[in-house]
C-alpha cells in the first residue's frame, strides 16, 4: 500500500512537472510568434515608407523648384534645431525586434499636442496617414535631402506648400504605434536614411522650455 501511494504521488508530481513544462513551452512559442510578428510588421512599415519616398523622389524630379527656393540642409549641418521639445528615447541605429532591425530615425518623447517645427526651409512633399508612422509630414529640402516627421496628431500643412525654417508644421502625439506621446524623426539624402545626431545643435529643448 505504501509503495502504491508513493508511486501515485510520484506520478502526480511528474504530471505537474509536465504541465509546467508544457506551459513554459507554450509561453516561449507565443513570445517567438510575437517577436516574429513584430519583426514582420516593422519590415513591412519600412518597406512601405521606402516605396513612398521613392515615388516622391520621382514626382519631385518632375516639378523642379524655382532657382534659390531651397536652402540646403547641408549648409546647416551642426546648426539645426530639434523640431520638438522633449527627450530622445530611441536613437538612430537602436536595436528593434529583438535586435534583428535597427531604427532608421529617432523618437523624441514629448507631450501630446506639442508643436512640431520644420528643421529647414522646404516644400511639403507628403502630408497624410501612413501605416506604422501615423500622420506623417515629409518636407523636401532640395539637393536630395528630406525630413520626415511621424506619429503626429494633427498636420497643419498640405502637399505643395512651402515652409520656412522653424515654421509650425504639425502637432505631435502617438497616432500610429508607440504608446508614449512623441515624434518620430528621420533625415534622408538621396532616399536613404542617415544618422541625424551630428546635424543638430545640442539636445532637444526641455518640455518646460517648450511651454515657455
* Residue owning grid cell 501605416: 131
First to last CA, the chain: 82
Where residue 212 falls among pLDDT bands split at 50, 70, 90?
A: very low
Burial class (CB in 10 A: 0-12, 13-18, 19+), 190: exposed
Where residue 84 falls among pLDDT bands split at 50, 70, 90?
A: very high
131, 132, 180, 136: which is closest to 154 by C-alpha? 136
More confident residue, 59 or 35: 59
Where residue 95 falls among pLDDT bands split at 50, 70, 90?
A: confident
* Residue owning grid cell 519600412: 46
pTM of the model: 0.77
Distance CA(39)–CA(78), nearest Å, equals 33
Task: Tell me what percent of the residues of the chain surpass a pLDDT of 90.
Answer: 48
Task: Tell me what percent of the residues of the chain surpass a pLDDT of 70.
Answer: 87
- What DSSP assignment string belongs to the chain? -HHHHHHHHHHHHHHHHHHHHHHHHHHHHHHHHHHHHHHHHHHHHHHHHHHHHHHHHHHHHTSPPPTT----GGGGTTTBPPSSSSEEEE-TT-EETTTTEE-SSEEEE--TT-EEE-SS-EEEEEEEEETTTEEEEEEEEETTEEEEEEEEEEE---TT-EE-TT-EEEEEB--SS-SS-EEEEEEEETTEEE--GGGBSSSPPPHHHHH-
> What are the b/e assignments for 97-112, b being 16+ CB within 10 Å?
beeebebbbbbbbbee
Amino acid at each position: 500500500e505504501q509503495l502504491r501511494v508513493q508511486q501515485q504521488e510520484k506520478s502526480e508530481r511528474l504530471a505537474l512537472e509536465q504541465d509546467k513544462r508544457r506551459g513554459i513551452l507554450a509561453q516561449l512559442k507565443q513570445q517567438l510568434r510575437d517577436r516574429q510578428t513584430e519583426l514582420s510588421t516593422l519590415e513591412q512599415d519600412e518597406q512601405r515608407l521606402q516605396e513612398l519616398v521613392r515615388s516622391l523622389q520621382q514626382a519631385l524630379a518632375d516639378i523642379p523648384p524655382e532657382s534659390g527656393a531651397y536652402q540646403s540642409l547641408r549648409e546647416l549641418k551642426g546648426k539645426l534645431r530639434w523640431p520638438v521639445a522633449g527627450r530622445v528615447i530611441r536613437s538612430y541605429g537602436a536595436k528593434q525586434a529583438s535586435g534583428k532591425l535597427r531604427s532608421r530615425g529617432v523618437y523624441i518623447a514629448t507631450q501630446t499636442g506639442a508643436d512640431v517645427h520644420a528643421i529647414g526651409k522646404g516644400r511639403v512633399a507628403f502630408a497624410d496617414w501612413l501605416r506604422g508612422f501615423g500622420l506623417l509630414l515629409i518636407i523636401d529640402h532640395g539637393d536630395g535631402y528630406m525630413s520626415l516627421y511621424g506619429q503626429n496628431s494633427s498636420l497643419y500643412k498640405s502637399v505643395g506648400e512651402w515652409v520656412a525654417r522653424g515654421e509650425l508644421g504639425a502637432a505631435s502625439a502617438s497616432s500610429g504605434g508607440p504608446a508614449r506621446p512623441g515624434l518620430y524623426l528621420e533625415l534622408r539624402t538621396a532616399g536613404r536614411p542617415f544618422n541625424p545626431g551630428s546635424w543638430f545643435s545640442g539636445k532637444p529643448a526641455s518640455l518646460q522650455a517648450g511651454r515657455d
